[in-house]
Amino acid sequence: MQGPRVALSLSSPGVSAAAITALEGVFRALGFESCERREASVQGFLEELAGFRERLDAHGGPVGCALVALVAPSGQLQPQQLIRELSPCGALQGCPKVFLLLSSGPGATLEPGAFLTGLRELCSRSPHWSLVQLLTELFHRVAEESTGSGCCPVLHSSLRGSLCLGGAEPWRPELAPSPSTQYDLSGARAALLLAVIRGRPGAQHDVEALGGLCQALGFETTLRTDPTAQAFQEELTQFRERLDTRGGAVSCVLVALMAHGGPRGQLLGADGQEAQPEVLVRELSHCRVLRGRPKVLLLQACRGGNRDAGVGPTVIPWYRRWLRAPPVIPSHADVLQIQTDAQGSFSGGPSSESADQADILTVYAATEGCVAYRDEKGSDFIQTLVEVLRAHPGGDLLELLTEVNRRVCEQDVLGPDCDEPRKACLEIRSSLQRRLCLQA
């Protein structure tokens, strides 16, 4: 990160002074020496963000990192619309953008709680940790402190690199995590691969590559090809029932769903009918034997029809090296979004509203509304994922997925209906509460 770190705090009326003070403590712990602070109605947040973007562009010069904290009653924020407001900012192109979304239940006064207190303390004590690792540790602590609240925080990431706000030197050796913060994978592992092959050239290569990886990592793997929309649901239900009735502990599961995607992110079965990914994820979260165990879901499917041209210089590709032009970056890259409750650990997302949603890692091959690319050799996402995990099977999975995203973001793709290069970007959603390493 080269350049200043800028921060903006937007809060709706009724937020306590103690909550604002706690936020300012977090900013200082993360290395943000100054912060704009504004109070506005939730409807005015978009206008405030537009003004923030204009001030950054008028400043002239790159920004090292941007942090935006949005504090409002639960259910009133529209995060994707707010995040998109900063996408055109030239000063923020290629730099990490962190969004902290804090909310509260109906009628509750927004006060500082376990999340903000813990975040400030961890940032001060462990500045050498990447922010994603730090948040995973924080999720674990908050869950322990809020036992019985039925809530969990979640992060969404499209970062292309490890974000360490403590300024640790890149050559500094990584400190070993505490054993209590790492998932125990000594029990059985199970994987379910559901793939529509028909009408998806290259999909068979993804199935073979992912199946070989699962075998190498010790997963008992079940493969079903060309499932109908109904079969997607039935296979998930049967998979859950088998796990609940088998003898012995299950320490980790991996589910891969590979199919065409609909215009609103639906999965299309071999029969052309729709299956909702959120319903399938919820089915897995109800598995009793998997409570407190990591659940990894991979979704290789389009989530809409948008083809991202990216942001950056418009230079003919073979001139880029000669001109030393910076690469074009996907429009949705470099964003880290954290949703939680100011008092504790509630995530305001519609699919992350209870403790059943804890310990889940979901990886989408495309961001919301965008195309996921695949050709006769397979998909960019699955092939890159297998390559990275085979090379570093013992690494922290969240950090490895960031590397996968970096490589996917660097690729230029020519789709079947466009002559200009297009970009792709993963979306990583995590409510993991411990470090996850698939190979000890």
Which residue is catalytic, options 140, 156, 205, 260? 260
Catalytic residue, from 302, 370, 409, 437: name it: 302
Query: Does the annotation mark 260 as catalytic?
Result: yes
Q: At how many degrees (to 10) do helices 397-410 and 380-391 cross?
A: 130
User: Cα(185)–Cα(56) distance, rounded to whole angstroms?
Assistant: 46
Enumerate the β-bridge partners of residue 8.
Answer: 36, 68
Report d(CA 260, CA 302) in Å as an integer.
Answer: 6
Q: b/e for 16-39, b at 16 or more Cβ within 10 A?
A: eeebbebbbbbbbbbbbeebeeee
Closest by alpha carbon to 258, among 249, 267, 247?
267
Q: Is 14 helix (H, G, I), strand (E, B) or coil?
A: coil
Other Cβ atoms closer than 10 A to 414: 12
3-state secondary structure of 231: helix
In angstroms, the Cα distances linking 84 to 24, 236, 440 are 24, 34, 39
**286 assigned to active site:** no
Contacting residues for 28 by C-beta, under 8 A, at least 6 apart: none
Task: Give catalytic residue positions.
Answer: 260, 302
